[in-house]
Structure 1
Amino acid sequence: MTSEYDNKKRETKNALDEAGDKLKAGAKAVANKIDDTDRDIDTEYKKEKLKEEAKDTF
Structure 2
Amino acid sequence: MLQIASYFFVIGIIWFVVDAFLIPGLVRARQDEVRRRIAFEMLGPDPRTSVPSVGPG
TM-score (norm 2): 0.49
TM-score (norm 1): 0.48
Q: Which has the higher helix share?
A: 1
Structure showing greater Rg? 2
Identify the structure with bigger relative contact order (alpha carbons < 8 Å, sequence gap 6+).
1
